[in-house]
Amino acid sequence: MRILAVTTGLYGERIAENVRAHAPKKWRVQEWRAPARYPLVIDEPRDFLPARFDSADLILALGEHPGVAELIPDICKMTGAQAVIAPVDNNACLPKGLANQLRGWLSEIGVTSVFPKPFCSLTENSYSLRKQRVEYDNALIAEFARHFGMPRFSVAVRDGKIQSVAVERASPCGCSEFVANGLAQVPVNDAEFGAGMLHHHYPCLAAMGMDPDYSDTLMHVSGNLTVDAIVHVVKPHRQIAYLKPR
């Protein structure tokens, strides 16, 4: 798969770097640094684009300015991309109304788009959570989501301690590997607390402001996804302390 990550700063660069580092060897992951500033009205998006792009199958829209969204349809036309992942880890970067507009623009040119909120809620057939959950059907996005999206782990335990944690599907920002490495030799019964603290210290790239869709911060929503994934795999190994009557 050929991927083009469109970035404007640290947020997108970190995701692009992590995807490049852990993607299947057959994938080609390229990055284009988009302009960081735009006028209030963009009359001609191509004025902000290079003369050409290499071909791509999938676009990761990781800009930190709303203006980047207006460039994505033209980038798809120039690269031949058939799918776009535009995560919403910060509403200021991609407000809901603009996301809806972008979905419409892309649909008009036959491009499938998804808007996982947060990015680590993406699975092979859905994105976002609770009442915000949306199902989709696209082979390119599903292939990406097999490797990056909602965290999934496996664990090896011996004598009540975690020996190792394997990342089966990584959060796009790289937090999953950090959490997995940090849980080695942690007692099973402390894994839930440990995962939460490790996620907090990574730190997560999601926004810390209150999100109206979740009535929570996206950072907290993201943290719960990681913690829940760890709890799921250590649960069969938890040790229950029983009180013995005298």
Task: Write the pLDDT tens digit of every residue in 10-25.
Answer: 999 999 999 999 999 9
Same domain, 96 and 19: yes
Give one DSSP letter per residue of 48-87, joined into a string: GS-S-----SEEEEE-SSGGGGGGHHHHHHHHT--EEE--
**pLDDT tens, residue by residue, 130-165:** 999 999 999 999 999 999 999 999 999 999 999 999
**Two tokens at 23?**
């993607």
Query: Which CATH number is 72's domain given?
Result: 3.40.50.720
**What is the per-residue pLDDT for 37?**
83
**Rounded to two decimals, what is the model's pTM?**
0.93
Query: Do the bridges between strand 58-62 and strand 2-7 make them parallel or antiparallel, or are there none, so unpaired?
Result: parallel
Same domain, 173 and 130: no
Round to whole Å and give the CA distance between 87 and 66: 12
CB of 54 within 8 A of CB of 79?
yes
The CA distance from 49 to 99, in Å, is: 20
Same domain? For 33 and 103 the reply is yes
Q: Quick one: 54 and 103 in the same domain?
A: yes
- Domain of 93? 2-145
Same structural domain for residues 185 and 102? no
Q: What's the whole-number mean pLDDT along residues 187-213?
A: 91
> Domain tally for the chain?
2
- Residue where one domain finishes, among candidates 145, 173, 204: 145
Of 92, 113, 145, which one is at a domain's C-terminal end? 145
Q: State the DSSP H helix or E strand holding residue 112, giving kind and residue range, or none if neither.
A: strand 112-114
Q: What percent of the chain has pLDDT over 90?
A: 87
Residue 29 sits in the same domain as residue 128? yes
| Within-domain flag for 243 | no
Q: Are residues 123 and 163 in the same domain?
A: no
> Model confidence at 46, in pLDDT bands (50, 70, 90)?
confident
Residues 220 and 126 in one domain: no
Handedness of CA 143, 6, 62, 101 (dihedral sign): negative
Cis amide leading into 203 (omega within 30): yes
